[in-house]
Amino acid sequence: MSRVLVTAGAHGIGRAVAETFLSEGAAVHVGDIDAEALSELARSGANITSTRADVADADDVDRLFDDARCHLGGLDVLINNAGIAGPTAALQDIEPPAWARTIEVNLNGAYLCTRRAIPMLKEAGGGAIVNVSSTAGLLGYPLRAPYAASKWALIGLTKTLAMELGPFGIRVNAVCPGGVSGERMDRVVSSAARSRGVTEDQARQGFLRQVSMRTFVDVSDVASTISFLCSEKSTNISGQAIAVDGHTEGLSLS
């Protein structure tokens, strides 16, 4: 039975990932900064243990991994899913604290968690890490510089870790979701509409026109891809950045 830790695992993509692994017989522990989402997860009756933690805080991350070891007994899979959208604005209008917070959560959080996970995965004799990047990590993204920068950096981290950890039987991949249906995408659309001076419907259609399949993806699409990358069916897949996005043709202001 796999032992899985998912960051930001109490809602959205993370919750779908946690529930997918659980349905496949894994033991799952999640970390999340959202106390309300963690409470709702507990009320759901799902057999998933949890820790309230901010992945950008080293002490919180230490507590998260100590709890994971206590509940799971070890670790086979780490899903670095925690991330924030960051500000929507031209670079010169982004204040340093907003830039820094985006990098701290999206990139430094993955570093802090992976740093703690590696000894546990080596102890287990191998395993898998999946970093949740974005199509913004493959393309430029106007008005979202800190987000795009952090997601590009995650792919560089993924490829480097695949080289470092491959000899220990640890595979490292990145998944790059496009627009994912749900509240977070609704907020992105609303923010884009305000920044561009258009209606929310116009902003939404603008996003969809840049996707070959003209649709947003579902959290289950992302979760199933992550599950595959951690399974025995992908034992020779490592160092890859795999888009789950209906083929994003570009991210522009149009």
Q: Which residues are catalytic?
A: 147
The helix (H) or strand (E) run that includes residue 200 is helix 200-209
E strands, 16-169, are: 27-32, 48-52, 77-80, 127-132
Q: At what angle do helices 58-72 and 109-123 cross, to 10 degrees?
A: 30
Neighbours of 167 (CB within 10 A): 7
Burial tier of 148 (Cβ tally within 10 Å: 0-12, 13-18, 19+): buried
Residue 35 corresponds to which tokens in the numbers above? Answer: 């106390």
17/22 Cα distance (integer angstroms): 9
